[in-house]
Chain A
């Protein structure tokens, strides 16, 4: 099946810093989503971005489908950004499931 690798596995920032999280995938996809899992365990949708670039406030994401990677940018980080960021992909054909990466654990210190 498709492999999803996220980097870095852990990231510690000071409030106000910027960061880039990366997601590499091993096959072509027709769905790519970024999620934030907060300390209470909730999975919050950040972006649905199978290709192209999207922005939402301090967050933006870019997926280069032909090169099989996606980037999540967090600018001016806040302590509330802490948590685990997951990339999840779905391939075409009869594959119905979202395959998740192992996530990036982000800690933003005040």
Chain B
């Protein structure tokens, strides 16, 4: 058990719908990362939050958004869903942001949310 909790584990929804994926980081971790894993694109970085603030953006579509709350849990919102959004979505957490280079920045991943858009 990595200590990172993601809910739900599975989600099936129709095209055009909106869903919210939830992530609770490991106790004490301030950074939360979201990744998408699809068959054709591999593991792609979407976005990072550190202590409530957005720190980095990757290949995240405009239809997707995320936030990190004061209790450090994070949500990834996916809207106007398309068939191609079907994927495994991972949340990861680490203690520090990259700027704190002396600290171990090992990232731990949740079990993922498997999203199927039909």
Contact = CB atoms under 8 A, between A and B. Distances in A.
Contacts, number: 60
Contacts of A33: 106-107
B108 A97 contact: no
Contacts of B108: 45
Nearest to B105: A31
Interface of A: 30-31, 33, 35, 41-45, 48, 86, 88, 90, 92-100, 102-103
B56 A96 contact: yes
B88 interface: yes
Contacts of A98: 33, 35, 45, 92, 107
B104 A95 contact: no
B58 interface: yes
Nearest to A97: B45
Contacts of A95: 56, 98
Contacts of B35: 98
Nearest to B97: A96
B90 A43 contact: yes
Nearest to A40: B111
Given A41-B114, A98-B45, A99-B45, A92 B106 contact: no
